[in-house]
Structure 1
Amino acid sequence: MNTRAPRNEGHPYQNPALTPDERTEDLLARMTLEEKAGQLFHTMLTMNPDGTLIETGDPAMVPMSTTDLLETKGLTHFNLLGSYGAREMALWQNALQERAAATRLGIPVTLSTDPRNAFTDNPGAALNAGAFSQWPEPIGLGAIGDAELVHRFADTVRREYLAVGFRVALHPQIDLATDPRWSRQSGTFGNDARLTGELAAAYIRGLQGDTLGSQSVATMVKHFPGGGPQKDGEDPHFPHGKEQIYPGGMRDHHLAPFKAAIAAGASQMMPYYGQPIGTDWEEVGFGFNKDVLTGLLRDELGFTGIVCTDWGLLTDAKILGETHVARAWGVEHLSPAERAAKSLDAGADQFGGEQCPELIVELVRSGRITETRIDASVGRLLREKFVLGLFDNPYVDIDAASRIVGNPEFTAAGEDAQRRAITVLTNRDTLLPLTGAPKLYLQGVRPEAAAAYGQVVSDPAQADIAVVRLSTPYEERANKFESFFHSGDLSFPPAELAALLDLMKTVPTIACVNLERAAVFPEIADHAAALLADFGASDTAVLDVVFGHATAQGRLPFELPRSMAAVAASREDVPNDTEDPVFPAGHGLTL
């Protein structure tokens, strides 16, 4: 159990009987400029696998030192990278909070995380579930389209996060997947703006509750004002994907889910990297864009919460040993300090993925930014810490963490959702569901999983049925970090496609394609005995649907194009815009 008492020297900001506003005002008045500057940065941190704090020299994706970040630079907002055991994460977060409590003012840490309850493992977007319950990707929740299920999912995530100390979710991602090539589609709910808004509201309420409080996980909704319409479907993490365009004039369509999120009480908002081209907005990345952050988000939509930029807007950084330029699209010519000033002027409160508070000190002391402006953002950030109860009890129960995270109830709910999200695209001659114990030839399926359903054979000529699991094709990118962002061509390479078609001629073949984004496979659709799509599912989940032990309820959250030529001719901001798709959005059969 947690028996630690919160730090209390009798200062008003340490008094839980006062309001968050009163406590914030008192604490802010006690802070030095350097301490305020540290609050404006929300950066990455890792831990050692045994739950101890990481320091200089320890292995990490990017070099880091807990002591330097917390005590020297004064940061108190951290995004944990990596997957670890629940008990070890709880140990680490308590050690981190103890270290924070020993600083001059004892400001507790706000710990955040990217999504970590599904199958994606991309250090720039989401983490594999590991110890946590494993659900389909958000795109699979969109395929199911059930707001009650999304609320249950988010409430489960909330309880798992609270058990290990996560108090900010760097999600939901409520962009619309309008360009079939875009690499971030699996984190969305699809391209239906109305449904996305409905599911976003359920998600936010599941994590935060009706009001933000001590049992809440704050949501950082992303990516305002809607990622997705990226030129040629590339991603603005990288210079060749920086342009965001609206050739179909559907800017308001992409904005609609964010209006629903604000109405649901979203606590924080993350603007995307994209640089809008050909609009009435300034042609600079959204994190620097006053037209968008102040004119649209604050003034027009009335958002009063925290605005945290996406990661890495100010300085160049090494990731996986390779140098990546700052994602300062449209303001590349500015210095890091000038970029920070422009972002603050635009309306941002905090810089994601950066750790350079000295820039803020320099800006204030030079007169470029007033301390009053800094106080406005620091006040928002501190107030949320008080509302979340971090000053009153920042610690977690280490034993409870192991009992709660990934417990049987949560695991079963996630596995059920995996099955529900599977989408049946074709079922020739009503082959499905299979019966009996057929001889099974497998590709991409673990034999030990299939053995419970039939006799596994190694020769397709001896099989009654082949079961093949496939992944959405993508172009290999040379850069290590970019290799995690699956982009480009959606069609199967000719040799792989020919081998699949040969198999289908040899034996009736059930193909299941994991759709992390749309895929182009008309030939597979024509020749498979049955064709399924999954959005994150175990082999057992897929086989349960194939054999009728579970019911697939998914409907396509986007269309599946007929050719890459049709994709190239479509408009990036328009949903379901390819000519003569193989399967339209919303398609799905009931077995």
Structure 2
Amino acid sequence: MTVKTLKTDDGFEFRDLNKNGRLDPYEDPRRPIEERVEDLLSQMTLEEKAGMLFQTMIGMNPDGTLKEAVEDMNPVPTSEMVKGRLMNHFNVLAITDPKSTAEWHNRLQALAEETRLGIPVTISSDPRHAFSNNPLASLMTQSFSQWPEPIGLAALDNPELVQRFADIARQEYLAVGIRVALHPQIDLATEPRWSRISGTFGEDAELTSRMVAAYIRGFQGEEVGPESVACMTKHFPGGGPQKDGEDPHFSYGKDQVYPGNNFEYHLKPFEAAFKAGTSQIMPYYGRPLGLDNIEEVGFGFNKDVITGLLRERYGFDGIVCTDWGLLTDAQMDGFVFEARAWGVEHLSTEERAKKALDAGVDQFGGEACPEVIVKLVRSGQIPESRLDVSVRRLLREKFRLGLFDNPYVDAEAAPSIVGKPEFRAAGEQAQRKAFVLLKNSEHILPLQKRPGLKIYIENIAPEAAREYGDVVSSPAEADIAILRLQAPYEQRDGMFLERLFHTGDLSFPEAEKQRILSVLKQVPTVVDIFLDRPAVIPEIAEHSAALLANFGANDRALLDVVFGHAAPEGKLPFELPSSMEAVLKQKPDVPYDSESPLFPFGFGLSY
């Protein structure tokens, strides 16, 4: 490592971060954090302050070495970001095995120590413990314990389990150096077509509030400290009421609407997050339409929301980081990924940055252009004192997390923590419990395992099914069929990332629906459907012998539930509409308001 450990005359050892041979106040862990913050801030140049205001994506090589190659999601070499642009906050994307990831983290911290002040790096991450694999929303990481999606945790409505999950995830994050969780996502899923429902706790504000409080306690503890992972709770002031259910990652989804006059309802989970002590907040991309006294610009540029609502009404003094990519366009997959500057598209990059800072944000996510801030200050458009307000918050967080005192992790220990057997077992148990039993005609479930049972399967690994019976190739040969389905969605054209968002119609295309029904009419069939958002399935519900919903579960978890080795305990965290007509008539900001739902919010049978 590049930083020397020195001793004072009275024998106190300290890390000489700025390499000047003496103990500066910010290097002294015995001093109050506020003193350390002010001492370090007084030594920082404009360029060093500007670098702190940016957090962007970073990758690693498979062997854990630093990534210098330029790619779509990693547009700047690591050494340039750390030593050239003086950035020290990064959102890690694909990672490798735990030991190599921890070694990469330590190499990155060593690189940061080569800068003038030795400010350590803070690594953040999107969710990694469930089943989604969308680089713009959440990532699946094989080494970590695997749990249901957050919507599945909500189906169990068990705050103690949620806190246990968050504590396990915290330990696994810490082992590889991740110190900020870019979650929980506490938007209310009041528009059933929205593509990001699986990352939420559903459409009910009270249920979500219970979940978020437990989640934050598990990651942060009672207060942020050296064993914490700080939570960046999102997306303030609630990103669920999307017009037509489209997502504001893309221009056609930029508008957020409130025809039910229900804006305040979407704030309730955030009130629970503030009470639990969330360290950070992320506003969403959407621009609100038709609200009194709120400008119709994206929330990250919105002073009425960031300063008026978040800072003044709620008194939040933590870090506010924008969602990713508000300032500049990006090249991805051969497409131009437009900056999500909704409502201020006409402004220049500098003007967008100024408006966001004026609104009250502290940091720009998914951007790596600190020179823009330097230019704004040097031209007199922003006073340097405005940067100091945000840099104080960012430095305070690093000190609270203990990064200045020891930024390194034990790479040798990481494999024994990440994905250890008891963590995996807890995730497996949660997968099984979170199933929702929606129909069980003549109590067909649980099935009885018996010799010679002939099973027809779809989307289930044959080796798993063979543990319970003889797998046959057609419904006509079978005694029972077990189908695993994915909630339907419209496949969008466009860039690869756009196709990862499941959006649009909630019903199966007619040809696929008829194919499924033909199986259901030939043989008693257990249907299991992965609900990453609601589905319109009245005919499937009618003709199935049994109907299960899951929110992220592997094949063995399903089969254990079907054959009675585990029992489904979940309740629907959102309603399942009876038709697309009912979906089109419901109000996107109002919970469980579709006409005559097929299955209402909170529904769930048991064995």
* Same topology, TM > 0.5: yes
SS in structure 2 of the partner of residue 481 of structure 1: helix
- Per the TM alignment, residue 7 of structure 1 is displaced from its structure 2 partner at its CA by 4.1
Return the letter of the residue paired with 1:483: R
CA contact under 8 A between 2:480 and 2:524: conserved in structure 1? yes
Instruction: Return the alpha-carbon distance in structure 2 between the equivalents of residues 94 and 7 of structure 1.
Output: 18
- Per the TM alignment, residue 436 of structure 1 is displaced from its structure 2 partner at its CA by 2.2
Residue 442 of structure 1 corresponds to which residue in structure 2? 457
Residue 574 of structure 1 corresponds to which residue in structure 2? 590
**Within the alignment, does 1:118 sit opposite 2:130 as a pair?**
yes
Return the letter of the residue paired with 1:402: P
List aligned pairs for 1:140-539, cutoff 5 A: 140-280=152-292, 281-437=294-450, 438-479=453-494, 480-539=496-555
Return the letter of the residue paired with 2:427: G
**Within the alignment, does 1:12 sit opposite 2:25 as a pair?**
yes
CA contact under 8 A between 1:308 and 1:351: conserved in structure 2? yes
- Per the TM alignment, residue 60 of structure 1 is displaced from its structure 2 partner at its CA by 5.7
Instruction: Return the alpha-carbon distance in structure 1 between the equivalents of residues 75 and 178 of structure 2.
Output: 22
RMSD: 1.3
Instruction: Return the alpha-carbon distance in structure 2 between the equivalents of residues 138 and 523 of structure 1.
Output: 28
**Within the alignment, does 1:132 sit opposite 2:144 as a pair?**
yes
Return the letter of the residue paired with 1:300: R
CA contact under 8 A between 1:423 and 1:532: conserved in structure 2? yes
Deviates more, 1:377-386 or 1:459-468: 459-468
In structure 2, which of residues 562, 567, 576 is the aligned counterpart of residue 551 of structure 1?
A: 567
- Per the TM alignment, residue 134 of structure 1 is displaced from its structure 2 partner at its CA by 0.2
CA contact under 8 A between 2:483 and 2:526: conserved in structure 1? yes
CA contact under 8 A between 1:175 and 1:228: conserved in structure 2? yes
CA contact under 8 A between 2:525 and 2:545: conserved in structure 1? yes
List aligned pairs for 1:60-79, cutoff 5 A: 61-79=73-91
CA contact under 8 A between 1:420 and 1:553: conserved in structure 2? yes
Show structure 1 runs of 5+ residues with no match: none
CA contact under 8 A between 1:54 and 1:64: conserved in structure 2? no
CA contact under 8 A between 1:83 and 1:130: conserved in structure 2? no
Instruction: Return the alpha-carbon distance in structure 1 between the equivalents of residues 316 and 599 of structure 2.
Output: 38
- Which whole-Å deviations, capped at 9, do the CAs of 1:210-233 have from their partners, x for residues lacking one? 011000000000000001000000
Instruction: Return the alpha-carbon distance in structure 2 between the equivalents of residues 588 and 287 of structure 1.
Output: 38
In structure 2, which of residues 34, 43, 51 is the aligned counterpart of residue 38 of structure 1?
A: 51
The size of the alignment, in residue pairs, is 589
Instruction: Return the alpha-carbon distance in structure 1 between the equivalents of residues 242 and 182 of structure 2.
Output: 21
Return the letter of the residue paired with 2:552: G
- Per the TM alignment, residue 505 of structure 1 is displaced from its structure 2 partner at its CA by 1.2
- Per the TM alignment, residue 64 of structure 1 is displaced from its structure 2 partner at its CA by 2.7
- Which whole-Å deviations, capped at 9, do the CAs of 1:229-250 have from their partners, x for residues lacking one? 0000000111000101110011
Residue 67 of structure 2 corresponds to which residue in structure 1? 54
- Per the TM alignment, residue 4 of structure 1 is displaced from its structure 2 partner at its CA by 9.2
Q: TM-score, normalised by structure 1?
A: 0.98
- Per the TM alignment, residue 547 of structure 1 is displaced from its structure 2 partner at its CA by 0.5
- Per the TM alignment, residue 322 of structure 1 is displaced from its structure 2 partner at its CA by 1.7
Residues 7 and 131 of structure 1, relative CA distance in 2, 3 Å threshold:
farther
SS in structure 2 of the partner of residue 47 of structure 1: coil
Instruction: Return the alpha-carbon distance in structure 1 between the equivalents of residues 32 and 512 of structure 2.
Output: 63
- Per the TM alignment, residue 577 of structure 1 is displaced from its structure 2 partner at its CA by 1.5
Residues 447 and 7 of structure 1, relative CA distance in 2, 3 Å threshold:
farther
In structure 2, which of residues 82, 97, 120 is the aligned counterpart of residue 108 of structure 1?
A: 120
CA contact under 8 A between 1:468 and 1:510: conserved in structure 2? yes
Deviates more, 1:437-446 or 1:520-529: 437-446
- Per the TM alignment, residue 321 of structure 1 is displaced from its structure 2 partner at its CA by 3.1
CA contact under 8 A between 2:72 and 2:331: conserved in structure 1? no
CA contact under 8 A between 1:62 and 1:319: conserved in structure 2? no
Show structure 2 runs of 5+ residues with no match: 6-14
Q: Return structure 1 stretches of 4+ with deviation > 6 angstroms.
A: none
Instruction: Return the alpha-carbon distance in structure 2 between the equivalents of residues 100 and 137 of structure 1.
Output: 34
Instruction: Return the alpha-carbon distance in structure 2 between the equivalents of residues 333 and 571 of structure 1.
Output: 31
Return the letter of the residue paired with 1:307: V
Return the letter of the residue paired with 1:302: G
- Per the TM alignment, residue 70 of structure 1 is displaced from its structure 2 partner at its CA by 0.5
SS in structure 1 of the partner of residue 412 of structure 2: helix
Residue 599 of structure 2 corresponds to which residue in structure 1? 583
Instruction: Return the alpha-carbon distance in structure 1 between the equivalents of residues 272 and 315 of structure 2.
Output: 12
Residue identity over aligned pairs, in percent, reads 62
Residue 12 of structure 2 corresponds to which residue in structure 1? none
Q: TM-score, normalised by structure 2?
A: 0.96
- Per the TM alignment, residue 565 of structure 1 is displaced from its structure 2 partner at its CA by 1.3
SS in structure 1 of the partner of residue 438 of structure 2: strand
Instruction: Return the alpha-carbon distance in structure 1 between the equivalents of residues 262 and 96 of structure 2.
Output: 42
CA contact under 8 A between 1:46 and 1:60: conserved in structure 2? no
